Structure 1
Amino acid sequence: MDYHNLLNKQIKKLLPEKYLQDEQMLAFLSAVNNSFNSFEKSINLADHAFNVSEKEYQHVTADLQQQNEIKQTSITKLKTAIESLDPEAVLQISDTSNDDDLIRIINFLQDRIANAKELETELIQSKDIAEKAALAKSQFLSVMSHEIRTPMNAVIGFTHLLLHQNPRPEQMKFLNLLKFSAENLLVLINDILDFNKIEAGKVEFESVDFSIKDLISNIRMALLQKAQEKNILIKLMLDQDLPNAVIGDPVRIGQILTNLISNAVKFTNEGKVTITASLAKRDSETSTIDFEVSDTGIGIPPEKLEYIFESFSQASSDTTRKYGGSGLGLTITKRLLQLMQSDIEVDSRVGKGSTFTFSLTFKNSDKHIDPHVANDEFGKLASLKGTKILIAEDNQINVIVAKQFMNEWEVECDIAENGKIALMLAETNNYDMILMDLQMPEMDGYQTTMAIRELDGDKYQKLPIIALTASAMLDIKDKAYTVGMNDYISKPFNPHDLHKKIAQYSRAKETV
């Protein structure tokens, strides 16, 4: 029998030959041999196992090292990303965690995100509150405007009517004072509404042909009476090289100049107000004009100069009490100029006077405007004789005012006291146009206009509908156009403006 090498060596060395014939000894040797073989097999298996485990250990160790490097790279990238968003956060992470403590960094980020979400929620709530406050302000202005403008329409309208009825000299004086006071009140109201429009970004600028010289001359004429009452001279210094006509918004530019010139007259007790306009630069496309309004008035203290363009601000509380005003004129002036890519500068000395300067660039116009043609409110107007108009208005005082003007202009008119009646009359009559109040019972002006536009017949699509509104809501114009109105006019209206609007949209022809 073949025995294990180690067992063979021991048998040959220690066991006599005679015992190798004994059955019991042979059985014992066989068992020992099996044990040796089994032990050797186990050793071989163990050696193999140890070899395999070492390879796996090396593989696992390498894998763990790679994972650790990836983790460190991820932490570094995470910190870099955090630093780009919030440098302060990285400092806090460095102070409170180790570079390999990814869990603590994530927990820190969770806290930061939670704080950011809380701050975001607070900002959203603050934004909602601000928007509601802005809406409430706009609605308040609209309501107050409507409530003030409606009776103002009657006051100004009746004053104009009485002034055209040959009043006695003493009555003429009182009526002019009444007209002046009413128009001053309207200026204050309009200042507030214009400021609200500017703040809301709702100001639109026209591009029409007009004469700078005529515009300034007309403003001077409008303010001349007030200046003469104070024995103040209003002097014009107009550059002869000024273009005959430019393209721009004469209403807004007139508003700017009127604010500055009326302020100059208001704050000047003696001396003069000088209005200067000079051509600074001209090319084939545009003309840049420098404007200057100077006075010999009370002046502005140096420490107050930076505040005079702020909202509701004047040089002092005494100024408001003594001279009046809303404190918005210069604010509106500056904001309008900024919207036209310009600005305003002021130089002032107490007791010597103030000088306001600004520049505007206009597109050149090829239209020729005759400077000798007067822009007189009471001059020749288009004849409205034979024009037939429907007036949709529920306020009886406004109806009386409107009917009086229509009679003067020889306009035939019907009255509808609510939207339903207006719709019925529009369907059964042939009108040249409709003057549509926006706030009426039964159906408002918007609903009535939409209903008229839906009537069968091409004439209802072409029928001019002009909104009459005392509202200050900033989207009135857009809303009126959206429902199908052609234009709008604000109450209280200047009779001359209403006449021009009717002439523009009706079939009337200008008198020859």
Structure 2
Amino acid sequence: MIFSGLPARIALLAFVPVLGLAALASAWLGYERYQAGVQEINTRGTTLVRQAALALEGDPVLERERLRRYALGLLALDDVLTVSIDGLDGQTLVREQRSSSQRLNGNAGEQPEASLGFEAPVRGALAASLTPDISPGPGYLPGPARVHIELSRAPLFALRSSVLIDTLGLLGLGALFGLLAASLGSIAILTPFERVQRLLNRLRNGQFEPPLRRGDDGGPLDALEEGISAIARLLREQRQTLMSRDEQTMAELHETLEELEIKNAELDIARKKALAASQVKSEFLANMSHEIRTPMNGVLGFVELLAKTELSRTQQGHLQTIRASARHLMTILNDILDFSKIEAGKFELAQQPFDLRELLENAVLLFAPNAHAKNLSLVLDVAPELPSGLIGDGPRIAQIVTNLVSNAVKFTDRGQVEVCVRLCSETAKTVTFGIAVLDTGIGFAPQDRARLFSAFDQIDTSPTRRHGGTGLGLAICRRLVQMMGGDIHAESVPGEGACFEATLRLDRLLATEAGEGAEAVPPPVSMPALLAMRDETLARALTHILALRGVAARLCRDVNELEAALSQPPAPGPLLIAIDLRTLPGARQALPELLRAREQPVEGGLLLIGGAEAAMPGNGGFAYGRLQAWQIARPPVSREVLPVLDALLARHAGTPLPDQASTTVPAAHSTPGTQGLHVLLADDNLINRQLARLFLQQLGAQVDEAANGLEAVQRCAGHDYDVVLMDIQMPELDGLSATRRIRAAGPNRDTPIVALTAEILPSDAGRYRAAGIDDQVIKPVTEEALVATLLKWGNRCHLPDPQVQA
């Protein structure tokens, strides 16, 4: 307790003075005792030497023997060490000393200086006192003049040791007394402080009761203790008040913490599920890409082969629709697979020239069968002043139109779906236009507008919903429109339909960029047109198509208006009569009678729109008088209407028009860079192998086939190929493993290996390079892609060695 802090200082203040006093007292007492001993020795020596001098006084002449006996008598004393008697002439008459064995302390090594010397003159023993007539006889000496005695210091040494021991003992008693006093004083002083400290510790630990026992000295520390006790009572009261108030708060806080813990756990689980779902999504996209692209490769490939055969106009139209549908299906697939790239900000838009009108027509015609099956009127209305040649990412714009029209047809049970494209503004370099898709379907509520463009979200998620879908189409549209710097929005009245409008701004395709192969715009023609139909939307769209050739159209909403129009004098040039078999089928039955009632015969053409049940016996093969008849499906598009105008003008001018109904595309021919190449084709899909083999054989290449990776390795072990086309996903042995084995040994270690793959994930390219793949061709494989690949890699590994030639 007294070795640290305040107790140590208190003990030091009590111990040091007591120890100091004890040291001074013991030193003073020792010094006085030692001085008394020294004085005693000096007194004894002086007394002995004086007594000896008095004894020798009065004997002028003494015998030497007598002096010797006297000196020995003095040596008999314990403390006398040496006795010396000197004569008057200074000579030593007698000198006796104690031997070493007779020393008082018994030490043989006693030094002479360890003694005290005392001298005294012998008064009266002078040579002048000797009378002349007295002569000393033999054996007598002249009287002594001085006596010298040396006493031992041993008693003084013993006294000094005794004094030192006594002094230390006294000092030790003083220190012990000081320690006792310091302890008692520290206890007496620190006890009140300890009580205060214990009280403060209790306060610090929140122990406000019972109250501590007070001291009874009535000092300041007791007053301090009483003040602290009062504070403790006050704190106790406040604590009780706070505890009563905080109980509810703590309960609410505890409940909140539990809710936060639950939410954190749920968020952690959701995060893990999201990561797992992202991984599953990537794997799903890769697998679906392969599963869908594999059959689409056969579809598109054989469509290309079929297009090279001799077909009629109707067959060419059907084939063109199939080709456009398949290509748009691949575009949709590519967009969905690229959705993850858009989310990650790694997607880039292409900037290439494209024909906007052709793109819109191909996208809308995809849904003509669905619209016809639901008895809907599907109309594409493109403003004639809108330029067709633009620069941008045409497939992505087609994806936007496809998604919007698909939703409109899906959610519309009766009425019509109109795709209206209008020019908003233009400059010398840019064109801003709007694409609006209007329907008369179920529409949506205003509160659901924010959910329309959310990914993987649908307004109706109930089990009894009528309309399916992934909920991804509008989200893709919004992302693509935003990436193009445009805007998309939607308006609707529930039960009356909806309108989705996207505004885009693209660069104009200038004449210098279009190149020499660009198709020239035909000059305006002088030809009137009568439109017999009740569908004003269809009439407006057809009027805009005819305006591309400068044809002015007049709308006849019923048979009477058509009769009135035909009764007027004919205009110069051929006349085009367009009848909508869906809204005004009676005009077709009444038309022969109306034509016979005219005074002058009508020359021109008849365009029947829709009505599959009234198919004509061949395009342009049925005539009403002098009218040549054509029939087209709904919706009418420029690529079907404009050739009718061109045929009418050519017939009216007497110019033979090439028969487009039996146009034959010449078969592919071999390319000099591909002739004679030896190619190994490894693919587990028989249709894909057949398609690729036909393409390669038309290019002049020799083809060996392998149905799996193991068979490809075996063939490469016995043949030296110019190029190896390797599918990635195959049974027995996949394409990457087969490539590694081929690269390990054999004649094709350096042969170019090109992957035929449907996987387009970013990580695939690195895996392919690591396995030894030189290049890749994305399915569906086209003839153009094969030609480019063979020209790039064919014969590369068999080029002559420059060193050998040298």
Q: Scaled by the length of structure 2, what TM-score is found? A: 0.40
Q: How far apart are residue 332 of structure 1 and its match?
A: 1.5
How far did 1:140 drift? 4.7
- Residues 296 and 326, structure 2, Cα contact 8 Å, conserved in 1: yes
Partner of 2:185: 51
Following the alignment from structure 1 to structure 2, what is the Cα–Cα distance between the partners of residues 139 and 312? 18
Report the alpha carbon displacement of residue 48 of structure 1 after superposing the two structures with TM.
Answer: 3.8
1:356 aligned residue:
501
**Gaps spanning 5+ residues in structure 2: where?**
1-174, 207-241, 370-376, 520-664, 796-806
1:309-388 alignment runs, 5 A limit: 309-311=453-455, 327-337=471-481, 344-348=488-492, 354-358=499-503, 369-370=513-514, 373=517, 384-387=671-674, 388=677
1:145 & 1:122 partners in 2: Cα distance? 33
Q: How far did 1:162 drift?
A: 2.4
Range with greater deviation from structure 2 (141-150 or 158-167) = 141-150
| Inter-partner Cα distance in structure 1 for 2:428 and 2:510 | 17
What is the alpha-carbon distance in structure 2 between the residues aligned to residue 351 and residue 117 of structure 1? 48
1:438 shift after superposition: 0.6
1:429 aligns with 2:716: no
Aligned equivalent of 1:150: 294
Structure with higher Rg: it is 2
SS, match of residue 453 in structure 2: coil
Matched, 1:232 2:355: no
Q: Which residue of 2 aligns with 1:166?
A: 310
Over the aligned positions, Cα root-mean-square deviation in angstroms equals: 5.9
User: Is 1:219 paired with 2:370?
Assistant: no
Higher relative contact order (CA 8 A, sep 6+): 1
Instruction: Report the Cα distance in structure 1 between the residues aligned to 2:386 and 2:195, rounded to whole angstroms.
Output: 91
**Post-superposition offset of 1:117:** 8.0
CA separation in 2, counterparts of 1:220 and 1:476? 34
Determine the structure 2 residue equivalent to 1:292: 434
Report the Cα distance in structure 2 between the residues aligned to 1:482 and 1:404, rounded to whole angstroms. 31
Judge conservation of contact 2:424–2:433 (CA < 8 Å) in 1: yes
| Structure 1 position 272, deviation (Å) | 5.2
In structure 2, distance between residues paired with 1:115 and 1:227: 51
Q: Give the equivalent residue in structure 2 for 1:32.
A: none
The residue that corresponds to 2:698 in the other structure is 408
Which residue of structure 2 aligns with residue 479 of structure 1? 767
Correspondent of 2:782 among 483, 495, 500:
495
The superposition leaves residues 25-46 of structure 1 with CA deviations (integer Å, 9 ceiling, x where unpaired) of xxxxxxxxxxxxxxxx999877
CA distance 1:334–1:271, shift in 2 (3 Å): closer
CA shift, 1:399, in A, is: 0.6
C-alpha distance in structure 2 between counterparts of 1:337 and 1:58, whole Å: 85
Match of 1:390 in 2: 680
Q: Could you say which structure has the higher helix fraction? A: 1
Residue 467 of structure 1 corresponds to which residue in structure 2? 755
Contact 1:157 1:495 in 2 (8 A): yes
**CA separation of 1:62/1:182 partners in 2, compared to 1, >3 Å: closer, same or farther?**
same
Give me the whole-angstrom Cα distance separating, in 2, the residues matched to 1:437 and 1:313.
36
Would the alpha carbon gap of residues 145 and 456 (structure 1) be closer, same or farther in structure 2, given more than 3 Å must change? closer
Report if the CA contact (8 A) 1:227-1:234 is conserved.
Answer: no
Contact map agreement 2:391 2:506 (CA 8 A) in 1: no
| CA-to-aligned-CA distance 1:394-414 (integer Å, 9 cap, x gap) | 222211111122233444433
AA aligned to 1:429 is D
Question: Does the aligned pair in 2 maintain the 1:298–1:352 contact within 8 Å?
Answer: yes
- Distance in 2 (alpha carbons) for counterparts of 1:487 and 1:360: 36
Deviations 1:270-310 (A, max 9, x none): 6652154756999xxxx8x7552124533744535434324
Distance 1:351 1:371 in 2: 47
CA distance in structure 1 between the aligned counterparts of 2:781 and 2:455, rounded to whole angstroms: 28
**Match of 1:369, SS?**
helix
Q: Deviations over 1:125-159 (max 9, x none)?
A: 55444444444455455445544443343334333
SS in 1 for 2:750: helix
Shift of 1:116: 8.0
Deviations along 1:153-175, one digit per CA (max 9) or x if unpaired, are 33343333223222456655665
Q: CA 1:218 to 1:113, structure 2 compared with 1: closer, same or farther past 3 Å?
A: same
Shift of 1:334: 1.8
Q: Is the 8 A contact 2:418 2:438 kept in 1?
A: yes
User: For residues 367 and 48 of structure 1, do their structure 2 counterparts lie closer, same or farther at Cα, with a shift above 3 Å needed?
Assistant: farther
Partners of 2:378 and 2:487 in 1: how far apart? 31
CA offsets 1:96-118 (integer angstroms, 9 cap, x no match): 59xxxxxx9xxx99x99999888
Q: In the TM superposition, what are the counterparts of 1:246-285 in structure 2 within 5 Å?
A: 251-256=395-400, 258-260=402-404, 269=416, 273-276=420-423, 278=425
Please give the alpha-carbon distance, in whole angstroms, between the structure 2 residues aligned to 1:328 and 1:278: 31
Distance of 2:424 and 2:773 partners within structure 1: 39
The amino acid across from 2:720 in the alignment is: N
* 1:159–1:175 CA contact under 8 A, matched in 2: yes
Identity across the alignment (%): 27
In structure 1, C-alpha distance between the alignment counterparts of 2:491 and 2:266, rounded to whole Å: 44
Provide structure 1 residue ranges, at least 5 long, that are not aligned to the other structure: 1-40, 73-90, 98-103
| Partners of 2:454 and 2:475 within 8 A in 1 | yes
Q: 1:393 deviation in Å?
A: 0.9
Report the AA paired with residue 220 of structure 1. Answer: L
Cα separation, partners in 2 of 1:505 and 1:175, compared to 1, 3 Å: same
Structure 2 distance, partners of 1:305, 1:54, is 87
* 471-480 vs 151-160, greater mean Cα deviation: 471-480
- Cα 1:358–1:434 change in 2 (3 A) is farther
Is residue 245–residue 367 contact of structure 1 (8 Å, CA) maintained in 2? no
Alpha carbons of structure 1 residues 119 and 297: separation in structure 2 relative to 1, 3 Å: closer
Displacement of 1:505: 3.6
* Aligned AA (2:294): T
Provide the TM-score with structure 1 as the length reference.
0.59
SS at match of 1:407: helix
Letter in 2 for 1:95: D
Q: Secondary structure of 1:157's match?
A: helix
